[in-house]
Chains A and B, each alone.
Chain A
Amino acid sequence: MSDSKLLELQEVDKSFGGLRVIAELDLVVREHEIVSVIGPNGAGKTTLFNLITGIYRPDSGEIRFQDRNIVGLAPHKITELGIARTFQTLRLFLNMTVKENVMAAEYGHTKVGVVRSMLRTPGARREEKEIHRVAEEKLSFFGDRLMGYRWDQPAYSLSYANRRRLEIARAMATQARILLLDEPAAGMNPRETHEITELIGTLRDVGGYTILVIEHDMHVVEGISDRVVALDHGVKIAEGSFEAVATDPRVVEAYLGLRTAETK
């Protein structure tokens, strides 16, 4: 495994009022790694994503991406640098077409301004063609699921599983280097879950993305992870291979609760 750190969190802290949601968290994601974050509900997993993408600002600590501190940058700047995410509660642009959803996410790495768009200059045309090409390329990643006539349909007409796929396609279109996937298999049937597991592998192997994923489904976590990080109450309680983390007594305790006196 290459040891170039792509994303690094150092002693990141975040409280809401008196509630400490993330406590002195250290986390490293290396290039071409798939890292899973697990933990019971309320462990701070989604907050972690919100901190990395700049929606929340950490109270203290550093978040470094490609050796650059990104704390305090606006979310769209962070995305431009190469961090893109999906949402646990899907947040597609529902009334835009499938293709437009992906094309909209290419805003950050395109340049043509409003005047040149109005006049449709040759440069604007060229860039528009490129936007279409990239969108089609990203959508083709999902096989037939998001192809063909579906491009021109509004996103709300998609099935739940296809919406999850479209969110991933949209995140890819920002030209990200690392994808933050927030429960990509939530609400999917076993077959779709299996597909998502395969897809995440393909994203890394073919797409060349580094992936940080929150997931509850342990089969998915087992199938994809190079490394697993377990959180509970904002504290990292275990880290390592899936087997090591899954059998770690603190992880078991976090999920199942402390053993009662009787079983001791």
Chain B
Amino acid sequence: MAAGGGSGVPPDRSGPADAPDSPRIGVDEWVASVEGKRERYTGLRGRLTREWDHLPPPARVLVFAIPAAIFPLVTTEGNLFRYGLFTLIYALLALGLNIVVGFAGLLDLGYIAFFGCGAYLYAILASPQFGYHWQAEAAIPVIVLGTAIVGLLVGLPSRRLFGDYLAILTLFFGQAFVIFVNNANRISFPFVGHTDLTGGSNGIANIDPFNFFGYKITTTRQQYYFLLIGVSVFLVLLMFVNDSRTGRAWRALREDPLAAEVMSIPVNRLKLLAFVCGAAAAGFTGAIYGTIATAALPGDYDVGLLITIYAIMILGGFGSIMGIVVGAIIVSSVPELLRSSANARPLFYGAILLALLVKIRPWRLLAAELGGLVAFGFVVHAIAEAAYPRLVDGKALGSGTVAHALDHWMLLPQHPVKIADFAYISLIAAVVVYPQLSRLWRALLLAPLLYLVMFVWENLLLVQIGGATRLVLLGALLVALMNVRPQGLFGTATVEIV
């Protein structure tokens, strides 16, 4: 048994052999070989993850940075602004939050306030508001230090808190910040008296571009490359720190604060450190955002952005550095892509098809469902054409073969508003009831349900694609993902207790 089992032990990482004089208390090769087989992925996926794990951090960053560096060369200035800049800003913000939430496990809901602090500090130091026009090489260190100090001040009273209590306290801070910048134009400050510090609800406009030793970063392309360098450097720093004494201590206190404390880790100090590091990163990002937006407005630093950043982290996986980059790309680009119906339709149908492919096994059942759906559509269309022609007198939005084909399959009334609203509400009810049904009924009703989904999509959602729909879709995407992979795309599932 021992000999046969021993050969199954993966050979690539056997560790040093026991020195002859060190104590040997029992050998369990059988358990080792069985667990070894179970724990290792085989095939392509296993090879890819192993290769990836063996890459040094700078090389991993290049995997992301090289395509990102090529992106501006193949796209227009407008696309670069909409997709590129915001993806990078989101990525930088989420990476900073990842230190606090992902590594140290502190639920910080006031994070966006540090981002706002950075933007407002830069606006004060480099805009006509006070007439200061600092060079970027001087302003950025001051801002990073300044937000780090704010982080320290917020962290000090909350360093003994965990979980919900910390969340509430930081949420209060985040809201207090928004109220402060909204009103700081008419507050009397000590020593100074009445000053217009933040411009109130009008914000501070005409913020200077970054000016490094006389070299100004003005065009979108320059800003993009500056951000890309910032994100890449930050990624490497994070990977280094994650694999260091401090990173391990952060993860240890996330796992079990009491055990960490007893294992010589100063828990309170490390929590504070995580808070300060996150705040500094957010402040840096805020300064960059200030120059890109050329204005600091209180509305930009509210809960909406906080939710977006958390969505990125949830999508990418808490604690996973590269996952967060991917999450930022998805969360910032999907709503932009969905702005036009030409992009939205293939994305929508593609997502449905993908979900069906993943969820329905075996393939015969999938083929039957898809066939049933097509047949169901034609039958409904035929019945409507004969009995109630007003349901089919419209045309599908857009042009092309898909739109053309839909004209003969989907119910497309000329004036869909009323019936589409009714269908929308029925759809919500149906989606709630559907998972409660038995297996057989679910199989039978899947085709009508999908048809209803598509009906609502074609007649209601697609028309309003520029507005609320894309956000509804993004929300649906997140909910669906959380059901399928609670740990996020690249996160590892954590085990609470075994």
Contacts and interface: CB of A to CB of B under 8 A. Distances in A.
A8 interface: no
A142 B27 CA distance: 10
Contacts of A75: 261-262
Contacts of A80: 264
Interface in A138-192: 140-145, 147-154, 156-157, 159, 170-171, 174
Nearest to A101: B252
Contacts of B261: 74-76
A174 B259 CA distance: 12
A147 B267 CA distance: 29
Interface string A102-123: 0111111110111001111000
B15 A151 contact: yes
Nearest to B12: A149
B16, B25, B245, B273: residue with the most chain A Cβ atoms closer than 10 Å: B245
Interface in B242-271: 244-249, 251-252, 255-256, 258-267
Nearest to A111: B245
A105 B15 contact: no
Given A53-B262, A79-B263, A149-B10, A104 B498 contact: no
Interface of B: 9-10, 13-16, 18-19, 22-29, 31-32, 35-36, 39, 237, 240-241, 244-249, 251-252, 255-256, 258-267, 273, 277, 492, 494-498
A129 B258 CA distance: 27
Contacts of A149: 9-10, 13-15, 32, 36
A112 B245 contact: yes
Contact of B245 (A128, A148, A206): A128
Interface residues of A, number: 62
Rank and list the top 5 A-B pairs by shortest CB-CB distance, nearest first. A108-B264, A117-B244, A148-B15, A91-B259, A93-B255
Contact of B265 (A76, A112, A154): A76
A42 B264 CA distance: 28
Contacts of A152: 13
B277 to A, nearest CB: 7
A113 B26 contact: no
Contacts of B15: 136, 147-149, 151
A67 to B, nearest CB: 21
A143 B26 contact: yes
B381 to A, nearest CB: 53
Contacts of B23: 141, 143, 199, 202, 206
Interface of A: 53, 55, 74-76, 79-80, 84-85, 87, 91-96, 100, 103-110, 112-114, 117-120, 124, 127-128, 131, 136, 140-145, 147-154, 156-157, 159, 170-171, 174, 195, 198-199, 202, 206
B237 A140 contact: no
Contacts of B35: 150, 153, 157
A153 B41 CA distance: 13
Nearest to B492: A95
B233 to A, nearest CB: 10
B41 to A, nearest CB: 13
14 contacts: A84-B263, A85-B262, A91-B258, A91-B259, A93-B252, A95-B255, A105-B265, A106-B245, A110-B245, A114-B246, A114-B273, A117-B244, A136-B16, A147-B15
Contacts of B14: 148-149
Nearest to A151: B15
Contact of A144 (B19, B24, B244): B24
Contacts of A95: 251, 255, 492, 494-495
A103 B9 CA distance: 25
A214 B424 CA distance: 65
Given A96-B255, A157-B35, A199-B25, A117 B240 contact: yes
A192 B321 CA distance: 40
A109 B35 CA distance: 34
Nearest to B267: A76
A108 B498 CA distance: 28
Given A55-B262, A91-B258, A174-B264, 15 more contacts: A53-B262, A87-B259, A93-B255, A94-B494, A95-B495, A105-B265, A109-B264, A128-B245, A144-B28, A145-B28, A148-B9, A149-B9, A149-B13, A153-B35, A174-B263
Contacts of B260: 93, 104
B32 A144 contact: yes
A76 B244 contact: no
A11 B94 CA distance: 53
A94 B495 contact: yes
B259 A100 contact: no
A151 B15 CA distance: 9
A142 B273 CA distance: 35
B263 A170 contact: yes
A85 B494 CA distance: 25
B267 to A, nearest CB: 7
B25 A143 contact: yes
A195 B18 contact: no
Contacts of B18: 140, 143-144, 147
Contacts of B256: 91-93
Contacts of A55: 258, 262
A96 B290 CA distance: 39
B26 A112 contact: no
B241 A131 contact: no
Nearest to B10: A149
Contacts of B277: 114
Nearest to A113: B246
B10 A104 contact: no
Contacts of A157: 35, 39
Contact of B495 (A142, A143, A156, A171): A156
A198 B25 contact: yes
Contacts of B29: 144
